[in-house]
């Protein structure tokens, strides 16, 4: 029977075509073939089914990237369930908010986060079942997933419609509140015809993504695209710091590298100190998640001899919908449409604009999300008649090449992740030391956005050093690492406009001046005498 369940084209098809011996993944956990992945998937599917997971059940997956993670996602699809991937760096409050929103029947979590998820369940009432990727926790309703993994008896694929829900991916919008983007099996099938084709992925390729599976960018890079092409992937569990990424690239020799501009800038910094660093085996490097500065792309090509493919995408559109073509699109451009997508530049009233006119970027495609989970107002506002209002300002020239201009709102992208200054400000204002505050983001000399919090402390707050220490402790307990400001500047008062609004343009100018000064420090500061 024909089924819209995407798991068949991603896994079973390869075995049916006699390709089970193809390499699927290599990494710290060893090497696994596609036949090994099938075995791991059936093991996980049996364990999850025995635990009560079934058709249309939503299941949170919050684990480090690993072969088991991919097998769990495929097992959930095999059962007709709906995975909800979440980063491992969120706070208890953030997890509780998502759990209360999507009401997962089960959560599969890393062992080190088991106690936190027990509290999440108490606070939100969800999930009903907690499966830990490690030793069994003690609370009732919690189990050790490894202990439940038995034989690899074949589990048939649940027949689904192409319009059944495949995955819910959470993203932060302009308010900072998490929004779950609902993607259908139709959309996952459609995206496989687009960017992987642009990248010319084949079974000979080995992909490595620094972006994690829990984010839309990494989900495509490490799971959807390699499996669709019968290619291999390298899965990195710990945080993807530049040194770790370079170690993986050296040892596992990927041919396609996916990252964000922040990472590429850090690798270039490391390469200044280590001339032996090379990427001879890498044929394609992809940069997405945030705007790619042209100067950074040029420095990358000069140092490594490989062009950066600049991709523009969003969680709402599942992955990259516009990408540059080295040698065919102008340097600094966003590029051209990826197969399967259409895009228009529109004015504030929704009217289509002409060549070289700047306006709002609207994107249409079968891979676009169907809706926001449990959030009809945002769905109506953002997803209009099959089009997605991306929140980007852009223009398209007469040749059809797109140029990114800016975000349409105040949402920033840092390391490929959306950050709303208002969310950070709300967090700071909860602290007793803070009278008022404002958070801005400005690019440093490499074009990477740096967050700075300007805080007006209360008179009774104490010394500046103590205030900063307490605020950093408060932020660490309340916000994920990528949302925490790099700099906390204490001020007597915030600059105001004539209408008594915070003059953010003044703060941005101050932040840029501070970053510029830090990039050319005076001799005393270079010698380590920075007294700020």
Q: Tens of pLDDT along 292-303?
A: 888 889 989 999
What is the reported pLDDT for 523? 43
Distance (Å) of CA 293 to CA 138, 212, 311, 419: 50, 22, 12, 19
Per-residue pLDDT, averaged over 94-109, amounts to 96
Provide the token pair at 310. Answer: 């600049």
Say if residue 325's pLDDT is above 70.
Answer: yes
471 and 362, same structural domain?
no
Q: What is the dihedral of CA 53, 55, 58, 62, to 10 degrees?
A: 50
User: Among candidates 118, 147, 144, which has minimal Cα distance to 131?
Assistant: 144
Asked if the structure places residue 532 within a domain, the reply is: no
The CATH number of the domain where 478 resides is what? 3.30.300.30
Angle between helices 34-50 and 67-78 (to 10 degrees): 60
Provide the token pair at 349. Answer: 């009233």
| Last residue in a domain, options 115, 143, 160 | 160
DSSP 496: B
Asked if the structure places residue 173 within a domain, the reply is: no
Residue carrying structure tokens 């451009």: 333
Instruction: Look up the pTM and report it.
Output: 0.84
Asked if the structure places residue 491 within a domain, the reply is: yes
392 and 439, same structural domain?
no
335 and 290, same structural domain?
yes
399 and 433, same structural domain?
no
221 and 79, same structural domain?
no
List all residues 6 or more positions away from 48 whose beta carbon is below 8 Å from its beta carbon. Answer: 59, 72, 75, 76, 79, 81, 106, 131
Measure the CA angle with vertex 360, ends 354 and 365; round to 5°. 90
* Alpha-carbon 230 to chain mean position: 23
322 and 220, same structural domain?
yes
pLDDT band at 532 (very low <50, low <70, confident <90, very high): very low
Q: Tens of pLDDT along 158-177?
A: 999 999 999 999 986 434 57
| Last residue in a domain, options 108, 138, 160 | 160
396 and 271, same structural domain?
yes
CA–CA distance, 394 with 308 (Å, rounded to integer): 20
Per-residue pLDDT, averaged over 40-52, amounts to 96
CA–CA distance, 215 with 217 (Å, rounded to integer): 5
Asked if the structure places residue 414 within a domain, the reply is: no
319 and 200, same structural domain?
yes
Provide the token pair at 258. Answer: 């996916």
Say if residue 530's pLDDT is above 50.
Answer: no
CB neighbours of residue 33 within 10 Å: 18
Host domain of residue 508: 420-526
Per-residue pLDDT, averaged over 362-377, amounts to 97
The CATH number of the domain where 146 resides is what? 3.40.50.980
In the sheet that 178-184 helps form, which strands lie side by side, from edge to edge? Answer: 165-172, 178-184, 371-372
Say if residue 525's pLDDT is above 80.
Answer: no
Q: Are 67 and 146 in contact (CB under 8 A)?
A: no
441 and 402, same structural domain?
no
Q: If you compute the radius of gyration of the chain from its CA atoms, what whole number of angstroms results?
A: 23
pLDDT band at 216 (very low <50, low <70, confident <90, very high): very high
User: Among candidates 88, 87, 44, which has minimal Cα distance to 67?
Assistant: 44
402 and 437, same structural domain?
no
CA–CA distance, 7 with 73 (Å, rounded to integer): 9
Asked if the structure places residue 184 within a domain, the reply is: no
Per-residue pLDDT, averaged over 19-39, amounts to 95
Asked if the structure places residue 185 within a domain, the reply is: no
Find the range with the poorest average confidence among 52-56, 105-109, 415-419: 415-419
Per-residue pLDDT, averaged over 296-319, amounts to 93
- Which stretches within 212-283 are classed as H helix? 216-219, 225-229, 242-252, 261-273
Asked if the structure places residue 181 within a domain, the reply is: no
pLDDT band at 138 (very low <50, low <70, confident <90, very high): low
| Last residue in a domain, options 376, 407, 438 | 407
Asked if the structure places residue 497 within a domain, the reply is: yes
What is the reported pLDDT for 176? 53
432 and 392, same structural domain?
no
Q: Does the N-terminal peptide bond of residue 127 adopt cis geometry, omega within 30 degrees of 0?
A: yes
pLDDT band at 35 (very low <50, low <70, confident <90, very high): very high
The CATH number of the domain where 236 resides is what? 3.40.50.12780
Q: Please state the length of the chain.
A: 532
What is the reported pLDDT for 133? 93
CA–CA distance, 477 with 93 (Å, rounded to integer): 9
CA–CA distance, 16 with 404 (Å, rounded to integer): 43
User: Among candidates 110, 100, 7, which has minimal Cα distance to 58?
Assistant: 100
214 and 362, same structural domain?
yes
Instruction: Give how many domains the chain has, as a whole number.
Output: 3
């Amino acid at each position: 029977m024909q089924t819209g369940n995407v798991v068949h084209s991603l896994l079973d098809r390869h075995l049916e075509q006699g390709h089970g011996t193809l390499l699927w993944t290599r990494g710290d956990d060893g090497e696994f073939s596609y036949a090994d992945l099938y075995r791991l998937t059936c093991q996980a599917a049996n364990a999850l089914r025995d635990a009560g997971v079934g058709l249309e059940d939503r299941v949170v997956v919050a684990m480090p990237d690993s072969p088991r993670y991919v097998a769990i996602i495929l097992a959930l699809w095999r059962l007709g369930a709906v995975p909800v991937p979440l980063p491992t760096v969120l706070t208890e409050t953030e997890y509780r908010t998502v759990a209360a929103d999507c009401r997962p029947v089960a959560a599969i979590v890393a062992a080190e986060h088991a106690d936190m998820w027990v509290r999440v369940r108490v606070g939100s009432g969800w999930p009903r079942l907690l499966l830990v990727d490690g030793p069994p926790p003690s609370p009732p309703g919690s189990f050790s997933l490894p202990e439940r993994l038995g034989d690899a008896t074949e589990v048939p694929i649940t027949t689904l419609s192409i319009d059944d829900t495949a995955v819910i991916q959470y993203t932060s919008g302009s308010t900072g509140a998490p929004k779950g983007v609902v993607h259908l099996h139709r959309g996952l099938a459609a995206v496989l015809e687009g960017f992987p084709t642009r990248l010319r992925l084949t079974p000979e390729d080995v992909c490595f993504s620094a972006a994690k599976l829990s984010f839309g960018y990494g989900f495509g890079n490490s799971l959807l695209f390699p499996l669709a092409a019968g290619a291999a992937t390298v899965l990195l569990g710990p945080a993807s710091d530049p040194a770790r990424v370079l170690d993986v690239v050296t040892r596992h020799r990927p041919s396609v590298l996916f990252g964000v501009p922040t990472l590429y800038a850090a690798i270039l910094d490391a390469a200044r100190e280590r001339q032996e660093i090379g990427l001879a085996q890498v044929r394609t490097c992809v940069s997405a998640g945030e705007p790619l500065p042209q100067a950074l792309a040029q420095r990358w090509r000069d140092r490594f001899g490989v062009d950066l493919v600049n991709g523009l995408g969003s969680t709402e559109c599942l992955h990259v919908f516009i990408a540059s073509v080295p040698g065919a699109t102008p340097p600094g451009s966003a590029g051209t449409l990826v197969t399967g997508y259409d895009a228009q530049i529109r004015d504030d009233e929704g009217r289509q604009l002409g060549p070289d006119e700047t306006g709002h970027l609207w994107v249409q495609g079968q891979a676009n999300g169907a809706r926001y989970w449990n959030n009809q107002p945002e769905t109506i506002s953002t997803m209009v008649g099959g089009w997605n209002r991306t929140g980007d300002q852009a223009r398209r020239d007469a040749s059809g090449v797109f140029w990114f201009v800016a975000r349409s709102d105040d949402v920033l992208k840092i390391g490929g992740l959306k950050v709303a200054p208002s969310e950070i400000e709300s967090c700071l204002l909860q602290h007793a030391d803070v009278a008022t505050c404002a958070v801005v983001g400005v690019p440093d000399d490499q074009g990477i956005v740096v967050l700075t919090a300007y805080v007006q402390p209360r008179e009774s707050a104490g010394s500046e050093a103590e205030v900063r220490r307490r605020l950093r402790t408060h932020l660490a307990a309340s916000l994920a690492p990528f949302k925490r400001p790099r700099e906390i500047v204490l001020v007597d008062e915030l600059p105001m406009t004539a209408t008594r609004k915070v003059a953010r343009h003044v703060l941005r100018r101050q932040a840029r001046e501070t970053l510029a000064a830090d990039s050319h420090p005076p001799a005393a500061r270079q010698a380590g005498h920075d007294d700020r």
